[in-house]
A and B are shown apart, each in its own frame.
Chain A
Amino acid sequence: MAIPLIYNIRSVRARWTSAVVAILGVAGTVGVFIAMLALARGFKATLVSSGSPDNAIVSRAGSSSEMDSAITLTQERVVEDTVGVARGKDGPLVSPEVVVVVAFPLRSTGTDANVEVRGVSPKVLEVRPSVKMMAGRFFQPGLNELVVGRNVAHEYVGLDLGDSLRFGGATWTVVGVFDAGGSAFDSEVWCDSRVLNQTFKRPEDIFQSATVHLTSPDALNSFKDALTSDPRLNVKVEREIDYYDKQSRALTTLIEILGGIVALVMGIGAVFGALNTMYSAITERSREIATMRALGFGAGSVVTSFIFEALFIAFIGGALGCLAVLPLNGFTTGAMNFQTFSHVAFAFRVTPVLLGIGVVFALFMGFVGGVPPAIRAAIRPIAASLREL
């Protein structure tokens, strides 16, 4: 026969001090665990959402990122005429791009951080339809004008709409702010690629990559085959999403490994806390338990009952931990993208899946912390326990 669950809930209430300790232990662990995963997911999501499934990025074969790639104007012309490239009103939707990194002072710390300045084609808004202008206007081809991502405007000093600034030996004006829907482009500054090449005294007909808008996501394979089999070219074609997924890998691995170790160690600590609480609870209650056994509850029911109690405590702890990290959702922070040495702003992402993982982790800790004490409670001889104080 099962011991009524209300017995456990009431006993948690009666011994609330030790229960609170165990609950907080579990809550802290779950909180840190979820926060770490949310950080890694947020970073990854920010970079991955920069890519879209119907875009492809063409770069030099063997390059590891745009930073060390090169595409000539002649090659870019070949790319434009390949099958699978979508066409807009002004011809094929291809944006040949150059990237330089410029240091600007962060508002928060006053120290410099690297910002990616991307020279793009005037057609870029058609190539990347997810990017929308939210204030001001788009730059005019041929002028020293900048449009800045949403995060750039409020994270850096001197990059607000209408500001003039100097870098690379030219004076630039910020004429617009764009919204890239929370992707890494929100941490970038865009301008005309030809102007950027001139300002930085780079050869005029060499770009670093070309982003191509495809007619459909399925067109990638034929597009890729056409380019890679062309003897005039020595290029690599990647779906934009895959390119950014690779970019995020170094940092997410770092966070996941370190976060995993920290959560594991904290988890062991929380299991110790839970064991301690359950053992004390059982020692204090040895008479009660013996009485129940004497009344006819079997050893199995006692074990089930105590495991339930441990799970109950762990569940409250887990839920509390989840609640505690919920406000982190959307909290923006910044980190370095190791591939491009530039600073990317991103938000913590606390998803329902992560919360679920957190609760499961809590229940697991409760189970590990509850089983040995429960077994101990069940196998103690009844007569001895009743006689004991």
Chain B
Amino acid sequence: MKYLHLLTANLKRKKIRTVLTIGSFVVALFLFGLLVIVRGAFSQGVDIAGVDRLFIINKVSIIQSLPLAYRDRLLATPGVKEVTFSNWFGGVYQDPKNFIPFFAVDEESYRQMYPEFHIDDDQWAAFMGDREGAVVGAKTAKRFGWKIGDRIPIMGTIYPGNWEFNIRGIYTAKRPQDDTTQFWFHWKRLDESSPQKGAVGWYIVRIKNPDDAAKVAKSIDDEFANSPYETKTDTEKAFAASWVKQMGNIEFLILSIGAVVFFTLLLVTGNTMAIAVRERTAELAVLKAVGFSDTFVMVFVLAESLFLAFIGGGLGLLLAKGWSLMGDPTGGLLPFFYFPVKFMIAGILLALAVGTIAGILPAISAMRLRVVDALRRV
């Protein structure tokens, strides 16, 4: 610690260079955070999927419906604990750009199926008592400034017409990665207005034992095979994963950008450190001449690079965190916008790794420096 002063004095000597090198780290780690957030925004559904939930859609595709009668048959399937169902309702609030996921839900069973969403019992009772009632997630309520009791006009696209909903409840979630952008309303209301009665978008079942997922999924699909409405059952995770894959190869895109950025950063810092050592050849020789060991000189140079990496990296990650708190910049297309702590730790380790790699060559050449040569060169 007593050499800290020497370290900071060295950094202060070329202020611009220090600031720029730290700046490069800030930018790179901010970008790292940004990429992690975006990746998460696309694949969050996979991470939060419940292990004991199966997702059942029409085999043809998700836009084809399933009959309501399947509910009881699903409940009778061995291994199934509970069943709920829901429909996608395409709706526009004020402007088509305001994307909100609307779901017509089977209220009680849906609430039981997703215990991660919390709603007051009073609000729930109010929702159940109002045929035109709706429950929205906290994030969506905040985004549009909706309060309990507000009457919200929605233009239906799949189920045409003007729909009006009374906000009766606002649900919240404990974990930051949970989706609090959904808009729920009564499935019965949708069914009454729909020309095709008893059409369910998809079923979700909870199974007794998560290890039996594959077996139960198969027995469900076998049960409905060769009927007019064949099913396709998957775990919630597999369903979310295939959805993400359809969105495009986001993972590859992000990895390649990340690689380009880090390679560049490595070059920039490596170069700066090399210049710094070259400039200070004489001083390092003096240090050695007055009795500091080779190892000390090496560690000293390396410490400087690590110091820059730590400060810059930390700052970049904090900025990224701040940005993630500002929320989704695309207007609702990416509901999950959040920077997990484990990736912040990974980020700082990555910065230190870059700092080490960038500093190691100059540090070794500083260690190998022969005092006589170095002093004579000047």
Chain A interfacial positions (CB closer than 8 Å to B):
17-18, 20-21, 24-25, 28-29, 31-32, 60, 62-64, 67-68, 100-103, 106, 109, 111-114, 167-169, 200-201, 250, 253-254, 257-258, 261-262, 265-266, 268-270, 272-273, 275-277, 279-280, 283-284, 333-336, 338, 341, 343, 389
Contact = CB atoms under 8 A, between A and B. Distances in A.
Contacts of B96: 64
A68 B157 contact: yes
A102 B230 CA distance: 13
13 contacts: A21-B271, A101-B61, A103-B232, A113-B242, A168-B60, A253-B333, A269-B264, A269-B265, A272-B268, A273-B24, A275-B16, A276-B17, A276-B20
Given A253-B330, A333-B249, A338-B333, 12 more contacts: A25-B267, A29-B264, A101-B63, A103-B60, A103-B232, A109-B245, A200-B60, A265-B30, A265-B31, A269-B28, A275-B16, A276-B20
A167 B229 CA distance: 11
Contact of B23 (A24, A67, A272, A283): A272
Secondary structure call for the B interface: helix
Which 8 A-B residue pairs are closest in the complex by CB-CB distance? A269-B27, A335-B248, A111-B242, A101-B61, A28-B260, A21-B267, A276-B20, A21-B271
B29 to A, nearest CB: 10
Nearest to B90: A68
Contacts of B64: 100-101, 200
B322 to A, nearest CB: 14
Nearest to A250: B333
Interface of B: 14, 16-17, 20-21, 23-24, 27-28, 30-31, 34-35, 38, 59-64, 90, 92, 96, 99, 155, 157-158, 160, 228, 230, 232, 241-242, 245-249, 257, 260-261, 263-265, 267-268, 270-272, 274-275, 329-330, 333-334, 378
Nearest to B31: A265
A200 B275 CA distance: 72
Contacts of A262: 31, 34-35, 257
Contact of B261 (A167, A269, A275, A338): A269
A279 B264 contact: no
A102 B61 contact: yes
B157 A63 contact: yes
A336 B263 contact: no
Contact of A60 (B160, B265, B329, B333): B160
Contacts of A276: 17, 20-21, 24, 268, 271-272
Contacts, number: 155
B21 A62 contact: no
A330 B52 CA distance: 43
Given A109-B245, A272-B27, A273-B268, A100 B60 contact: yes
B275 A336 contact: no
Contacts of A253: 330, 333
Nearest to A284: B275
Contacts of A200: 60, 64
Contacts of B257: 32, 262
Contacts of B260: 28, 31-32
B264 A335 contact: no
A343 to B, nearest CB: 5
Contacts of B230: 169
A334 B242 CA distance: 13
Contacts of B228: 169, 201
A250 B245 CA distance: 18
A204 to B, nearest CB: 15
Contacts of A106: 245
A279 B16 contact: yes
Contacts of B14: 283
A387 to B, nearest CB: 16
Nearest to B22: A272
A265 B34 contact: yes
Contacts of A29: 264
Which of A31, A257, A261, A269 has the largest count of B CB atoms less than 10 A from its CB? Answer: A269
A10 B183 CA distance: 65
A319 B21 CA distance: 25
A114 B246 contact: yes
B24 A269 contact: yes
Contacts of B248: 333-336
A102 B155 CA distance: 27
A261 B63 contact: no
Contacts of A283: 14
Contacts of B274: 17
A18 B96 CA distance: 50
A87 B204 CA distance: 50
A21 B268 CA distance: 6
A250 B90 CA distance: 15
Contacts of A100: 60-61, 63-64
A272 B24 contact: yes
B241 A68 contact: no
A335 to B, nearest CB: 4
A35 to B, nearest CB: 8
A62 B160 contact: yes
A336 B246 contact: yes
Contacts of A32: 257, 260
B17 A280 contact: yes
B264 A28 contact: yes
Given A24-B264, A114-B246, A266-B31, A62 B20 contact: no
Nearest to A99: B63
